[in-house]
Amino acid sequence: MTDETRILLVDDEPHVISALVRGLDEEPYLITGAHGGKEALGLMVQHRYKVVISDEKMPGMDGAEFLGAVKELYPETVRIMLTGHASVEATMRAVNSGEIYRFFTKPWDETELKLALRSAVEKYNLEEENRRLLRTVKRQSQELKYLEKSYPGITELRREADGAIRIDEDVTEEEIASIIAGCNDAERSS
C-alpha cells in the first residue's frame, strides 16, 4: 500500500472520527474525516477515496442514503458502515441501497476493523487492476481492428514448413512507422 490510499470517515460525532484516526494511525492510509454526507460527497469530488466508512444516523443525510449516493457516483469505492444504532431496517437499507462491503457496530473491535480495511483496500486495488487490464485489452483490440482494416491479413500468423514464424521482409521502415502512427491515431480518436 502507498500513501495514496485514501480513507474517508463519515460521522457527525467528532470524537468517533478522532478515535478511529487514533486507532488507525499506524496504518499506511491518508485518513480524512467528514461530519456528514454532504461534506463527504464534496470531499469525494476533490479526491479519490478507496474506502468510505460511514455512520448510519446522521442529520441531513443518513448513512444508507450517503452510501447509496457513493455507490452511484463512485461505484469503485468500497463502502463500510459503522453504526451504534444497528437495526434490521437500517442494516437492510444500507445493504440494499449502498451495497456495502462490511457492517460494524459501535463500539468496534479495532483489530477486526483494521483487517476489514486492509481487505477492502486489497479489493479496491484488485478491481482497479482488472479495470486497467480490461482497458488495455480493449485498446489492443481496437489496434488490431485498425491494422486488419488498413492491411488485410497483417494480423495472421504465418509459419514456414518447419513451424517457424514467417516475417515478411518487404515491409519498409516507413511502412512500419506509418502503421504505428495509424494505431496511435486510432487510439486517440477512440
pLDDT in tens, 69-84: 999 999 999 999 998 8
Q: Are 27 and 51 in contact (CB under 8 A)?
A: no
Q: What is the pLDDT of residue 50?
A: 98
Task: Report how far apart the first and last C-alpha atoms of the chain are (Å, whole number).
Answer: 32
pLDDT in tens, 87-120: 777 777 777 777 899 989 899 999 999 999 999 9
Instruction: Give the residue from 166, 60, 170 showing the smallest Cα distance to 10.
Output: 60
Give φ, ψ of 151 to 5 degrees: -135, 80
Average pLDDT, the chain: 89
Task: Check residues 155 and 72 and name the one with the higher pLDDT.
Answer: 72
Q: What is the pLDDT of residue 1?
A: 44
For range 7-30, the mean pLDDT: 95
**Residue 8 scores a pLDDT above 70:** yes
